[in-house]
Amino acid sequence: MQILYQDKHLLVINKPSGLLSQPGSLDDSVTHRLQSQFPFLGIVHRLDQGTSGIMVIALNQKALSHLAKQFQFRTTFKVYEAEVFGQLPLSKGHIDLPLRCDWPNRPKQEVHPEGKPSQTHWHCIESSSKRSRVLLIPHTGRSHQLRVHLASLGHPIIGDYFYAQDEALNMSNRLHLHAKQLTIHHPITNQRIHFESKAPF
């Protein structure tokens, strides 16, 4: 697990795929790996276990409160990179489909008219007959939003054990989704700071 930035108030890491953000069913997580080094760890936002990339962690209560409000009120800017199955028909697009929990199959989510509003902008940067590489900007932060939205287009993320099937699932042993860019305000100085991490796939 790589540390991209550190000061007295916050920590920015590059989370590997397969690692939980918070303690759960496994005895390994971002928290487990950092708790011996830092007396206070405030997990501000989470990445799915299969998703790699940038996470910001507060190192005191004041920073946690400030950063949490940024994510709550969507003043942060996030860009993800993914490889999806098949060739996308357009170079860019916008997905506006409401999402809710698929209760019989939780933690899976589903598109449903009674779900919460969910919007994703996508831009294709590379494409072939078997796979396309896309940049994704989520305008909302629903659970599994990017994964469900892309699957709803008929182009699930490669290696997605929840929403991909057959060839799309078997093309990789990991989810091809990476939190590539994050821009926030520093919780103390209020300076706008930007972080970037290259996708490992």
Which residues are known to be catalytic? Answer: 48
Instruction: Give, in order, the Cα–Cα distances in Å from 46 to each of 13, 42, 49, 114.
Output: 12, 11, 9, 25
Q: Judging by DSSP bridges, how do beta strands 177-185 and 52-58 pair with one another?
A: parallel
> In whole angstroms, how large is the CA radius of gyration of the chain?
17
| CB contact set of 171 (below 8 Å; sequence gap of 6+) | 85, 130, 131, 158, 159
> Which token pair is 16?
């590997």
> Which token pair is 39?
């007396």
What distance in Å separates the CA atoms of residue 195 and residue 110, rounded to the nearest whole number? Answer: 31
Nearest Cα to Cα of residue 112 among 94, 95, 99, 96: 99
What distance in Å separates the CA atoms of residue 199 and residue 35, rounded to the nearest whole number? Answer: 26
Instruction: Give, in order, the Cα–Cα distances in Å from 7 to each of 181, 187, 189.
Output: 19, 11, 12
